[in-house]
Amino acid sequence: MRNRVIGSLAASVLAMMVFSSMQLAQAGQRRGVGTGNAAVPVPPHDPHDLSGVWLLSGNGGGRGSTAVNQWSTQAPPMTPEGLAKMKANQPALGPRAIVPAKANDPLGEANPPGLLRTLIYSRPLRFVQLPDQLIQVFEWANHWRQIWTDDRKLPEGTGPFWYGYSVGKWEGDTFVVETAGLDSREWLDGWGNPFSDDLRVEERWRRLDRDNLELTVKFDDPKTYTKPWVSDKKMFRLQPKGTPNGELLEVIFAPMDENSFNENIRNPAGGATRK
């Protein structure tokens, strides 16, 4: 028995060492981007081909005491309307977190997370490029979106859609996506930050090398924020086939499963139930 315990401890330490070395290796690879380090061979890639499975690095941000929301450390102040909406949103995550049974996160009732929360949730997403559109398939909540690349314009009065209506085009090596029509019943992030139906989103995707994809997002929502603002950089890393995240799994939040979880785990754990 003692040997088993010692073996258990040794295995744990070994696992942590392996994990740490993986993190260091990934950090080293990230540092290698754009540094001109001639010692590291750069694998070939087509900057206009975003196909493949990608995984957000760093769990989406929102870390550190300076974070305003999970997208940015420098978002501008909200309008009075935005502030009122934020106060009405009661999250179970972030600086304003309360126990989830008393929160009103739409996800708690198995509603779709929507585009904005999905983009900063670290689950694999697949890009599929077709002649007239790019499709993003999200593992998280089993959703997908179309980004039309056939030169169409954003239609007036589109939506509301949980994942919006999107058009995209290439500007040099940057794939620029405009989105409107997002359903503002969903949140900007897991911390309960709001947006309005008037929100316009501009995503800028740039493949830095074969393995690294960068995203910045501009938010223009005069009803909610006093001026347009740009997110921090979000980094995505290619997940090759055969690796743990290299293929998408089914992740569906079925209301019957969510209700069972809430009743048996979430609510008793928090000592509260929603009235």
Partner 1 sequence: MITQSRSRVLIVMSLIIVGLTLVSIPTFGHHGTGISYDQNIWVPVTGTVLEFAWKNPHSQLYLAVTDDKGNTVRWGIEMNSPGVMIRQGWTNHQFKPGDQVTVSVHPSRTGAPVGECIPCSGLLNGKELPKPTATEERQPAAPEEKQ
Residues that bind partner 1 (CB under 8 A): 1-2, 4-5, 8-9, 11-13, 15-16, 19, 22-23, 58-60, 62-65, 67, 91-95, 97-100, 103, 105, 107-108, 113, 117, 121-123, 139-140, 190, 244-245, 249-254, 257-258, 260-261, 264-266, 268-271
* C-alpha 86, offset from chain centre: 20
Q: State the residue for tokens 């499975």.
A: 53
Q: Which is nearer to partner 1, 27 or 42 (CB)?
A: 27
- CB 194 within 8 Å of CB 224: yes
Tell me how far CA of residue 238 lies from CA of 49, 162, 174, 229, 250, in angstroms: 12, 26, 17, 27, 19
Q: Which is nearer to partner 1, 52 or 108 (CB)?
A: 108
Q: Nearest distance from residue 100's CB to partner 1, in Å?
A: 5
Q: Nearest distance from residue 246's CB to partner 1, in Å?
A: 10
Q: Nearest distance from residue 258's CB to partner 1, in Å?
A: 6
Provide φ and ψ at 130, rounded to 5°.
-115, 170
Q: Nearest distance from residue 130's CB to partner 1, in Å?
A: 26
State the alpha helices, DSSP H only, in 57-165: 80-88, 114-119
Q: Nearest distance from residue 239's CB to partner 1, in Å?
A: 11
Q: State the residue for tokens 């975003």.
A: 50
Beta bridge partners of 144: 137
Give, for 201, the enclosing helix (H) or strand (E): strand 200-207
Q: Which is nearer to partner 1, 126 or 206 (CB)?
A: 126
Provide φ and ψ at 204, rounded to 5°.
-125, 105
Q: Which is nearer to partner 1, 62 or 82 (CB)?
A: 62
Q: Nearest distance from residue 242's CB to partner 1, in Å?
A: 13
Q: Which is nearer to partner 1, 84 or 265 (CB)?
A: 265
Beta bridge partners of 182: 161
Rounded Cα distance between 122 and 140, Å, is: 9
Q: Which is nearer to partner 1, 23 or 226 (CB)?
A: 23
